[in-house]
Amino acid sequence: MHETKGDGVSSLNLRSPYLIFLGDIQEVLDTKTGAGLVQWCPDKVMGQLRFDDCVVDLGVSDLSIIEARARGVKSIVIGVAPTGGKISQRWIQMLVEAAAAGLDVVSGLHCRLEEFPELVAAAKSSGARLVNVRTPVDNLPIGTGEKRSGRRLLTVGTDCAIGKKYSALSITQCMKARGISASFRATGQTGIMIAGEGMPIDTVVADFVAGAAEVLS
């Protein structure tokens, strides 16, 4: 699941293809994780799972857990990031069903999947994994401010879901297309899922954020 390299960057090993779980979400902006995976990793997304009253559609096939399993889906990814980063109690039963069917459950939310005993039991019974993308990194240094080789572009914004990651990924893609050596360094849950590694910066104690940014870049 998670492996921390010597430089402190967390490497994430997710089993694909994915079923994107949208639950009963009503706001398009709340589906930034699912939408990001569909756009940037389309080959890894098999379909979406949502309640009847969910009004958001990512434009991929609607699949039940049974259908997803039959098509070879390996992980169900919680594709929403509602305000507060909590898992709705209504979602739990469906996630339990997925875990019981052997699908890894992947979450980028603030709460940990292990907080739900029934989910833990289902995963243990089937051998499925519970993957928390927002896993804090220990032993980070403070920032040094020392000049380093290479160039870095930091995307910042005044709120969540306004295009920081999207801009960074788009710029990286364009630079690579022009033959420029470039890489995307993820600091959020969706970016980490897309890149396969990174550092969840909102889990870092403020004293070490600058150091974390230096380690990551």
Residue 74 phi, psi (nearest 5): -110, -25
| Residue-wise DSSP of 115-163 | G-HHHHHHHHHHT--EEES--PPPSPPPP-----SS-------SSSSSS
CATH number for 94: 3.40.50.720
Written as one string, the DSSP assignment of 43-85 is GGEEEEEE-TT-----SS-B--HHHHHHTT--EEEE----TT-
Residue 65 lies in a domain: yes
Residue 99's identity, in one-letter code, is: A
For the stretch 103-116, pLDDT in tens is 999 999 989 999 99
Q: What pLDDT is stored for residue 59 in this prediction?
A: 96
- Residue 160 has, within 13 A of its CA and on its CB side, a CA count of 16
**pTM, 2 dp:** 0.87
User: Which pLDDT score, from 0 to 100, does residue 81 have?
Assistant: 85
Domain-embedded: residue 154: no
- Assess if residue 103 is contained within a domain: yes
pLDDT of amino acid 84: 73
The residue segments making up the domain with residue 93 are 2-132
Local confidence band at 13 (pLDDT 50, 70, 90 cut-offs): confident
pLDDT tier, 159 (very low <50, low <70, confident <90, very high otherwise): confident
> Is residue 109 a part of any domain in this protein?
yes
The total number of structural domains in the chain stands at: 1
Give domain status of residue 140, yes or no: no
| Mean pLDDT value across residues 35-39 | 96
* pLDDT tens column, 61-113: 999 999 999 999 999 999 998 777 788 889 999 999 999 999 999 999 989 99
Is residue 100, in this structure, part of any structural domain at all? Answer: yes
Res 53: pLDDT: 94
Is the pLDDT at 6 greater than 60, yes or no? Answer: no
- Write the pLDDT tens digit of every residue in 185-201: 998 899 999 998 888 88
Query: Is residue 58 a part of any domain in this protein?
Result: yes
On whether residue 89 sits in a domain, the answer given is yes
Residue 110 has phi, psi (to 5 degrees) of -70, -35
